[in-house]
Amino acid sequence: MTMQRRAFVASSLALASPAWAHHGWSSFDQDRPLYLEGRATKVMWRNPHGELELELPEKLALPPDLKQRPLPKQSADVDGPGLLAKAQLPTRTDRKWLVELAPLTRLQAWSVEEIKPGTQVAVLGFTHAGEKGDAVLRAEYLFVGGKTYGLRSSPA
């Protein structure tokens, strides 16, 4: 193999690697929205989407006002009030969850400031069916600093 060919293969693999770890909506149970709240312990503000590690308190509870929270309008048709009404706590006991946010361009469209470690954050989103696999939540709504952001699409 020529030097140019090796360089091409190596660069192609490097570019493809992030895509191997990325997964779409189909692996998440969108019929069972979960509510998580805690402290961001690690933040990765990068593409293909922002991520944060969320450390939950020992006792997690649904906020009494959750069903009445005002939600921002999005360009996608999302039944936000329906998701809030169906929100549940996870049944698994993991104290740390990886939360997948939106792509950086969408976070910028919502004017979400980069979340810093130590920030209190709440999210409503979806995990894998039956809560199988890693403790990963794909965020639909982000609650931070007294603001609510819809992450499925851009602001309407």
pLDDT in tens, 68-87: 999 999 999 999 999 999 99
Alpha helices in 44-126 (DSSP H): 80-86, 104-109
When pLDDT is averaged across residues 16-22 and rounded to a whole number, the result is: 38
Name the band, by pLDDT with cuts 50, 70 and 90, for residue 8: very low
Query: CA–CA separation, 37 vs 60, rounded Å?
Result: 7
